[in-house]
Every structure is written in structure tokens, then in C-alpha cells.
């Protein structure tokens, strides 16, 4: 099977390509790029896709996704979650281990990989828990999980509070070349907080969650990354203080990286004044100054990765008192549009090429994946993007099994229009 994507604007940060070209695919692999004037003759293709006016880039990677299986299939499944990923333009997702039971052993990792091989429409890369039962006390069998196929360690949804346990986990992770992804939350500082501690928590009478509850663990991680020389990736940064800490640490060569999610730059804590639980996040939506700092962190390269923290929940779980509702929203089908709309079009913090790099090259390098490139011989995972297309978010049309989004009805500019995995179109905008 041969496919030609013709006349698209190819952006491939791994190879420094940012120009109009024809992309040839053969047998599920990238064959070659033909640039204008190269003199290469086109012929013998089984399928020709006209990509005029579209960005053609390596398949996008979301390295922070909750697929909820095993054990929570009422919220999401590997099948529905990967269909949502495809609809969002993602050809690879990295799934978190806070399932039921947690992915804290080789057999559960093997189950996830086997299930994904049968039901997933995109690539699924599992992570393994740092501690057994996500309890923060006893290390998991890291070596066994590595050989079972994990790409990183994380207790996401939880945070290891014991610094000695975290240090030993990093030392073991270094032996296998695994990065640690950390959900930065100091339980003692956060307490029973359900929203950002500030003006609006006082007005609404809701327990506050101070920025220091995140920043204390970011500081801890910087110290341990420097001590152990093991890469630590700070998940879903939300505060200006966290951005400052990571910026200073990276300037002196500490192996620390960070990501941002779209809701933390699209919304503020004022959004909670209607007590809508779809605005309840972990970490919480913060103040405007934090939003500005996060966008500045993206612009100057402090924050290197974009992702969703896709966290599906059943409707009935969110339809309770604010304090009792679970944290999190779905994001796979809205994140690309939000990031394009905010970072590229409105704020002009980065250009489209930088956005593609943060969704492809950077996560692939951190996790040592053979993805995120259009090099000859690489898997033909490709995303086609119309960066100017205006569309309105409609949660009723989501491929995800859950609908917990605060962005329903919002008009965005830019979205994926075709998703290709191993040379085959698995989703296309109708």
C-alpha cells in the first residue's frame, strides 16, 4: 500500500523541515519527502491525499492520558479513549497507572498492552506506578515493569511524599533509562483544598489550595533530579512560582522538564463562581498572573511539552456538591484547538512549528519513543491540521465515553482534520 500526501506544509522538527513538500508512505512507513523542484517523479500510489493549505506533521503524542482501564470502564475504555485521541489528532498516547487495580506490576502492564493491541486505534504506551498501590510507601518492581514495556514511572493522581522513597525510585529508574513523571502536590500544604487559594476561594467559601502546595514538590524534584541525575518531568504545572523554579533549575543544567495543560492557560479560578464541577481540576485553575506565567514559560522554552491530562468521569460523579466531585476533565478532543487558538493565534507566544515540536519531538525524546518524526523508515504516524479552521466544541459529538468538559459551546480556531496511524487513515473530519 502506497500513499501520497501532496502539497501540504510539512513541519518535522526532528529533521528541521518547515516547508511545502510531498510526503510518500509505503507499507506503513515513511518513504521519503519530495520538495518543490526536486525533480522526483510521482507515480504508482494507491491513494493520493491533497493536503493543500494543511499542516502535515508527525503524529501528535499526548503523554498524559487516563484511559481508565482496567477497572473503571464506566468512565472510559482503551477503545473509546483511543478513538477520542484519534479525533483530537493524536496517534500516540501515554496512559497513567492510577487504574483499578493500579498498574504497579508487570502483569497489569502486560494486560494493558494486550488490550491495546486488540482494541486501540492509536499507539498506547503504558507507564508504571512508582509505589505499590500508589500508596507512596514501597517501591514497585521497576525492572519487571520495564521489561513488560513501560516508558516512564509515575504515581500520577498521587504524589510520593516520602523524599527517601522518591530518591530510591529515581536511582532505580536511572538503571533502566526511565524518566519519572511527578504529580507535584504536598498533601500537608494542600489539605482539603478544592480550588486555588485566593480571592475567589474566599468569596465562594471553598477550601483553598495554595500554589505553595505544588511549588514545594517542584523544589523537591529539582533537588532530587540534581542529586540523582535522573530526569524528572513535572506534570501539569499550574503556578507562576513553579515556572520560575523550573526555569532557574534548567538554566543550571538540572534534568528537569515540565508540561502544561490547556485548561490552565484557558481558564482562571474566577470560572468556578458558578460552582460548576466541570471546572474542578487537580491542580486547580489559578489566577490570571499564573496563566500569564505559564504562557511565558511556553514562549521561552521553560515548559517543553503540551498535553491534556485527559481525565474522564461519569456524569453522575460530577453532579454532586462541589467539594464531593472528582477532579478532572476530558481533553483529548479539545486540547489541540485550545493550544492553537491561545498560544499561536491569540497570544502569539509560539508559532505552529514550535507547537508541533512540543507535541512530537519533545515527548518522544523524553520517553525514548520511536515516534515524533517523518524520517525515512519511521512509522507513518501523521497528523494533518487546519490551523485556521474555526469550529465549536460540541460535547455530544465526542468520541470519548465521558462528557465532563468546561469548553462545550466554545469556538476555537484550528483543529486536526485527519489522523493517520501506520499509513492508514483512522479518523478524518467529515
Give the catalytic positions in this structure.
309
Give Cβ neighbours of residue 296 (< 8 Å, ≥ 6 apart).
Answer: 243, 302, 349
Question: Do residues 45 and 2 make contact, with C-beta atoms less than 8 angstroms apart?
Answer: yes
Give Cβ neighbours of residue 105 (< 8 Å, ≥ 6 apart).
Answer: 140, 141, 144, 145
Nearest to 337 by CA among 300, 383, 380: 383
Sign of CA dihedral 308, 311, 316, 322: negative
Cell numbers representing residue 318 in the block? 460530577
For residues 340 and 338, what is the distance between their CA atoms, to the nearest angstrom? 6
Residue 70: asked if its preceding bond is cis (omega within 30°), the reply is yes
Burial class (CB in 10 A: 0-12, 13-18, 19+), 274: exposed
**Strand positions, DSSP E, 295-336:** 305-306
Question: Do residues 222 and 245 make contact, with C-beta atoms less than 8 angstroms apart?
Answer: yes
CA 66 to chain centroid = 10
The number of beta carbons lying within 10 Å of the beta carbon of residue 70 is 17
Amino acid at each position: 500500500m502506497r500513499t501520497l500526501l501532496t502539497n501540504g506544509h510539512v513541519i518535522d522538527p526532528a529533521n528541521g523541515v518547515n516547508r511545502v513538500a510531498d510526503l510518500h508512505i509505503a507499507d506503513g512507513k515513511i518513504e521519503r519527502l519530495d520538495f518543490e523542484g526536486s525533480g522526483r517523479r510521482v507515480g504508482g500510489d494507491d491513494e493520493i491525499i491533497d493536503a493543500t493549505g494543511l499542516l502535515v506533521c508527525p503524529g501528535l503524542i499526548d503523554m498524559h492520558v487516563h484511559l481508565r482501564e482496567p477497572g473503571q470502564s464506566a468512565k472510559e475504555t482503551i477503545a473509546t479513549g483511543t478513538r477520542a485521541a484519534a479525533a483530537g489528532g493524536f496517534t500516540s498516547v501515554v496512559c497513567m497507572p492510577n487504574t483499578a487495580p493500579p498498574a504497579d506490576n508487570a502483569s497489569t502492564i502486560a494486560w494493558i498492552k494486550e488490550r491495546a493491541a486488540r482494541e486501540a486505534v492509536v499507539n498506547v504506551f503504558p507507564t508504571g506506578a512508582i509505589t505499590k498501590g500508589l500508596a507512596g510507601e514501597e517501591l514497585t518492581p521497576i525492572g519487571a515493569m520495564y521489561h513488560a514495556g513501560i516508558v516512564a514511572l509515575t504515581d500520577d493522581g498521587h504524589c510520593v511524599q516520602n523524599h527517601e522513597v522518591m530518591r530510591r525510585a529515581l536511582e532505580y529508574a536511572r538503571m533502566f533509562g526511565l524518566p519519572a513523571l511527578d504529580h507535584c502536590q504536598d498533601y500537608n500544604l494542600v489539605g482539603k483544598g478544592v480550588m486555588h487559594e485566593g480571592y475567589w476561594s474566599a468569596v465562594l467559601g471553598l477550601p483553598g489550595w495554595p500554589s505553595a502546595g505544588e511549588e514545594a514538590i517542584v523544589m523537591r524534584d529539582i533537588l532530587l533530579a540534581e542529586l540523582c541525575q535522573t530526569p524528572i518531568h513535572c506534570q501539569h504545572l499550574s503556578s507562576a512560582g513553579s515556572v520560575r523554579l523550573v526555569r532557574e533549575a534548567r538554566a543550571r543544567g538540572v534534568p528537569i522538564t515540565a508540561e502544561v495543560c490547556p485548561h490552565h492557560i484557558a481558564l482562571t479560578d474566577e470560572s468556578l463562581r458558578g460552582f460548576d464541577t466541570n471546572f474542578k481540576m487537580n491542580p486547580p485553575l489559578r489566577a490570571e498572573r499564573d496563566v500569564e506565567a505559564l504562557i511565558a514559560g511556553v514562549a521561552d522554552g521553560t515548559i517543553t511539552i503540551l498535553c491534556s491530562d485527559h481525565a474522564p468521569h461519569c456524569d453522575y460523579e460530577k453532579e454532586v456538591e462541589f467539594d464531593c466531585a472528582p477532579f478532572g476533565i476530558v481533553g483529548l478532543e479539545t486540547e489541540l484547538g485550545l493550544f492553537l487558538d491561545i498560544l499561536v493565534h491569540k497570544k502569539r507566544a509560539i508559532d505552529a512549528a514550535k507547537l508541533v515540536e512540543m507535541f512530537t519531538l519533545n515527548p518522544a525524546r523524553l520517553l525514548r519513543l520511536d515516534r515524533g518524526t517523518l524520517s525515512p523508515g519511521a512509522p507513518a504516524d501523521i497528523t494533518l491540521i487546519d490551523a485556521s479552521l474555526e469550529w465549536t466544541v460540541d460535547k455530544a459529538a465526542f468520541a470519548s465515553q465521558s462528557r465532563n468538559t468546561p469548553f462545550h459551546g466554545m469556538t476555537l480556531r484550528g483543529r486536526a482534520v485527519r489522523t493517520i496511524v501506520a499509513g492508514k487513515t483512522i479518523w478524518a473530519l467529515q
